[in-house]
Amino acid sequence: MKRKLVAAMLGIAASLSLVGSAHAQGHVLFNTYGITTDARVNYGPGTGGAAGSPVNTSFTAGLWYFLGTASLAAGTGTDTLPAGWEVASAAVPIGVNTVAGYVNGPVVNITDYVSGPITFSIVAYNGTAYGSGTTTAQGHSTGFTLPSIQTGSTPADELGAGATAFSVLPVPEPSIFALSGLGAAALMLIRRKK
């Protein structure tokens, strides 16, 4: 009887450890102003605010991440999610419950993280989503890699000193691209006729 009880208890403990590891995920504190983090979002030229000044609460911030180490230059306003990168489930108003231009966000779960380095980029936009066609200004930070992030019940860490300030830039209207295409086609026709 005692052997069966001990075996049952060991079986339950093994099952719980497997369930815990199957649901392992990483998490990070999405604050852009803290003890080790200072990553203010600023207006760029032509975005409706004074260039270099912090964006207002009409902007939203999010996180892109890459499992492993990757490089990513700061956004140009026309960027899309790079291949291999994923969108973290975070959409936080900028400048709410904190200083203008900064994010005071929640702990963000990275559901497919297990261990090792992870690269992040902070995004900012003033529409419904980054690259959605509803934004007039958007941008993202350079990529920054953390050697690891917390998992399980360990409290989340900040993004750290690798997160740096960046600017949002104007998003060209689709009509500009269409007119550019028509102009290029007209030049090719003129050249062909000669």
The model's pLDDT over 154-174, given as tens digits with 9 standing for 90+, comes to 999 999 999 999 999 999 865
Domain count of the fold of the chain: 1
**Closest of 80, 81, 82, 78 to residue 177, by C-alpha:** 78
Residue 16 pLDDT exceeds 80: no
Who's near 180: CB < 8 A, 6+ residues apart? Answer: none
Q: Name the residue range of residue 50's domain.
A: 24-182
Least confident range from 66-75, 96-105, 169-178: namely 169-178
Q: Does residue 159 belong to any structural domain of this protein?
A: yes
Q: For residue 122, give the DSSP letter.
A: E
Residue 10 counted as domain residue: no
Q: Does a structural domain hold residue 194?
A: no
Does the residue 193 lie in any domain?
no
DSSP states of 66-88 as a string? EES----PPP-SS--PPTT-EE-
What number of residues does the chain have? 194
pLDDT at 66: 97
Grade residue 179 by pLDDT with cuts at 50, 70 and 90: very low
Task: Tell me, yes or no, whether 190 lies in a domain.
Answer: no
